[in-house]
């Protein structure tokens, strides 16, 4: 893709969006229109050093596009309401469904490829598996309003007969990495573990409240943000069949493994202590997630993913210990 092309990144001040913007810069793309709600001071460091052409407030995007018609070549729609503890569905619906539909319609009207963030939260408790087949979303029962909203947009996209020339809904699994400093409770376990190691020398993990899982052995597919943005950029240059694609490593690991890797990043022995899981998330908690990555690999993405130990080590040593941003 021509480096002079104009690209939109929504959610550009957030975690994955700011990393995506920086990665595009590293590939030579500077004509980027960044879109977000820019009033939060704790997100400002995420954009420091980034090169972009325009900054557009999220609520003004469609109006701005219609007035300026900047000739967009691709949209990375990574902005969303991602708080899984927000149980007011109307909030998620407004941003994750209706706003995404507006972006979709603009892409259709201007024949612009679209890469958007879906989520592994769509899979619910995983009783139907984690395969990115297109007949599955209509059967899924996500565990929280965030997951419901993401699945509703996936279902809507799959029903559309008029689509962008290429479109990809990427089901992000448990993403971790730099530029999540602002995410508070929703930041990764690694981020919280690093803070606990600094402050008290040990890490608290939730006990298991299921007999079939030992404490600390809850399993998730943890993926480093550097892999996520690499895959997103790959879709920019390659055009496999449109649709939904899982984006994890394909290898579930335990929270105990994750925390041990975090301690290793600090060159410290692991000290893990278990606490009760909060009541408000206990019945909505995923005990196992693991992406079936066969579709992406069959589409031609062959670059290896960071191992948990290598990804966590890089994150801790090059970002968390130095408080640097990507």
The pair of three-digit structure tokens given for residue 217, joined into one six-digit string: 């052995």
Whether 150 is catalytic is: no
| 62 contacts 84 by C-beta, under 8 angstroms | no
pLDDT value for 176: 97
pLDDT in tens, 17-65: 999 999 999 999 999 999 999 999 999 999 999 999 999 999 999 999 9
Question: Is residue 23 classed as helix, strand or coil in its secondary structure?
Answer: helix
pTM of the model: 0.95
Task: Locate the domains of the chain by residue range.
Answer: 6-176+222-251+288-306, 181-219+253-282
Query: How deeply is 185 buried, as exposed, middle or buried, from its count of CB atoms within 10 A (0-12, 13-18, 19+)?
Result: exposed
pLDDT in tens, 247-298: 999 999 999 999 999 999 999 999 999 999 988 888 778 889 999 999 999 9
CA distances from 48 to 10, 45, 111 (A): 17, 5, 32
Whether 159 is catalytic is: no
DSSP string, 120-163: GGGGTTSTT-S---TTSGGG---SSHHHHHHHHHHHHHHH-SS-
CATH of region 6-176+222-251+288-306: 3.40.50.720
Report the alpha-carbon angle 109-170-235, nearest 5. 70
Q: Strands 167-172 and 203-206, how do they pair?
A: unpaired
Active-site residue, from 155, 183, 207, 284:
183
Output Rg (C-alpha) for the chain, integer angstroms.
19
The pair of three-digit structure tokens given for residue 68, joined into one six-digit string: 């300026």
| 316 contacts 266 by C-beta, under 8 angstroms | yes
Helix, strand, coil abundance in the chain, percent, nearest 5: 45, 15, 40
Query: How deeply is 309 buried, as exposed, middle or buried, from its count of CB atoms within 10 A (0-12, 13-18, 19+)?
Result: middle
pLDDT in tens, 204-256: 999 999 999 999 999 999 999 999 999 999 999 999 999 999 999 999 999 99
Query: How deeply is 99 buried, as exposed, middle or buried, from its count of CB atoms within 10 A (0-12, 13-18, 19+)?
Result: buried
| 97 contacts 152 by C-beta, under 8 angstroms | yes
Distance (Å, whole) CA 145 – CA 82: 10
CA distances from 33 to 8, 12, 52, 56 (A): 5, 9, 6, 7
Place of tokens 């290898």: 251
**Average per-residue pLDDT for the chain:** 95
DSSP string, 292-316: --HHHHHHT--PPPPPHHHHHHHHI
Active-site residue, from 146, 168, 224, 301:
146
Distance (Å, whole) CA 144 – CA 149: 9
pLDDT value for 186: 84
pLDDT value for 264: 97
Res. 131: pLDDT tops 90: yes
């Amino acid at each position: 893709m021509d480096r002079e092309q104009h690209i939109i990144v929504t959610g550009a001040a957030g975690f994955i969006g700011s990393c995506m913007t920086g990665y595009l810069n590293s590939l030579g793309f500077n004509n980027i229109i960044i879109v977000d709600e820019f009033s939060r001071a704790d997100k400002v460091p995420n954009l420091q050093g980034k090169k972009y052409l325009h900054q557009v407030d999220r609520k003004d995007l469609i109006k701005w596009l219609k007035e300026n018609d900047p000739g967009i070549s691709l949209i990375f729609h990574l902005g969303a309401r991602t708080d899984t503890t927000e149980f007011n569905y109307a909030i998620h619906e407004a941003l994750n469904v209706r706003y995404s539909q507006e972006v979709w319609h603009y892409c259709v009207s201007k024949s612009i490829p679209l890469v958007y963030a879906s989520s592994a939260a769509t899979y619910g408790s995983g009783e139907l598996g984690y395969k990115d087949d297109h007949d599955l979303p209509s059967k899924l029962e996500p565990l929280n309003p965030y997951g419901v909203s993401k699945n509703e947009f996936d279902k809507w996209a799959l029903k559309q007969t008029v689509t962008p020339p290429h479109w990809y809904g990427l089901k992000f699994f448990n993403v971790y990495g730099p530029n999540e400093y602002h995410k508070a409770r929703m930041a990764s376990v690694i981020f919280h573990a690093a803070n606990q190691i600094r402050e008290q020398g040990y890490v608290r993990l939730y006990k298991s409240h299921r007999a079939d899982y030992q404490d600390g052995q809850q399993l998730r597919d943890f993926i480093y943000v550097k892999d996520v943005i690499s895959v997103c950029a790959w879709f920019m240059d390659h055009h496999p069949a449109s649709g939904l694609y899982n984006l994890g490593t394909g290898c579930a690991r335990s929270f105990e493994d994750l925390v041990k890797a975090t301690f290793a990043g600090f060159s410290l022995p692991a000290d893990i202590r278990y606490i009760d899981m909060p009541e408000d998330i206990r019945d909505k908690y995923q005990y196992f997630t693991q992406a079936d990555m066969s579709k992406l690999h069959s589409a031609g993405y062959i670059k290896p993913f960071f191992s948990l130990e290598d990804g966590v080590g890089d994150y801790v040593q090059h970002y968390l210990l130095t408080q640097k941003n990507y």
